[in-house]
Amino acid sequence: MKKPWIILIAVLLVLFIMGRWFVGTRNGLVVRDEAVKTAWSQVENVYQRRADLIPNLVETVKGVASFERETFTAVAEARSKVNNINMQGVLDDPQKFQQFQASQGQLSSALSRLMVVVERYPDLKANQSFLNLQAQLEGTENRIAVERRRFNEASQGYNTAIRLFPASIVAGMGGFSARAYFEAETGAEQAPEVQF
């Protein structure tokens, strides 16, 4: 009579331990997933800050360099593309994520061209409003780099956790999928050429 009770208690103990492990593992994956989402929201915040600065920057430059229409158009179009991206599901869809990254890269490129235009106008470089906007934009670009790095770190921790065995079993059952990473822009591996 004691033997069936011992077996029953042993089975219940094993089930209890497995249940606790399953719940603990799933909760750990949820925590990592939330860390990725938090990092992503910070990335969105700094990109939004940059998007908010651009109209003021363009208007300030337009006042001095009114005939640089092509550059202003490129900045406006790139900003419009960024603002028109449907952010719903960007984290879950690698293709949408790549689209988001590409549009942000186009905006960065257009802003770089705008800064090159500025170099031709000494009056503009002495304008205090422009200098303030330029400093804010530079600070924002630095924040973007920091937040992208933090996002990649959170994604790496999460992606590693869902791939490790036996947590990968829980991840598969719970619908946890890998997150994309921000990557360097095309051509970033080549040093820029400087000509004097």
* Phi and psi, residue 123, nearest 5°: -60, -40
Determine the pLDDT at residue 32: 97
Using alpha carbons, select from 2, 97, 99 the residue that is nearest to residue 40.
97
Whether 53 and 140 have beta carbons less than 8 Å apart is answered as yes
pLDDT at 178: 93
Q: What is the pLDDT of residue 3?
A: 86
pLDDT in the model for residue 170:
95
Tell me the two tokens of residue 75.
């900045």
Is the distance from CB of 79 to CB of 51 less than 8 angstroms?
Answer: yes
Give the CA distances from residue 51 to residues 2, 84, 99, 193, in Å, rounded to whole numbers and listed in that order. 73, 12, 17, 29
Q: Which two tokens stand for residue 42?
A: 């910070």
- Threshold 0.85, pTM exceeds: no
Per-residue pLDDT of the chain (196 residues; tens, 9 = 90+): 688 889 999 999 999 999 999 999 999 999 999 999 999 999 999 999 998 988 888 888 777 666 567 777 888 888 888 888 888 888 888 888 988 998 998 898 888 888 887 777 777 777 788 888 888 989 999 999 999 999 999 999 999 999 999 999 999 999 999 999 998 766 555 544 534 3
Question: What is the CA 122 to chain-centroid distance, rounded?
Answer: 35
Residues 6+ apart with CB under 8 A from 25: 166, 167, 170
- The string of DSSP letters for 18-79 reads HHHHHHHHHHHHHHHHHHHHHHHHHHHHHHHHHHHHHHHHHHHHHHH-TT-HHHHHHHHHHH
CATH of region 2-174, choose from 3.90.1150.10, 3.30.300.130, 3.30.470.20, 1.20.1440.20: 1.20.1440.20
Q: Specify the pLDDT at position 186.
A: 63
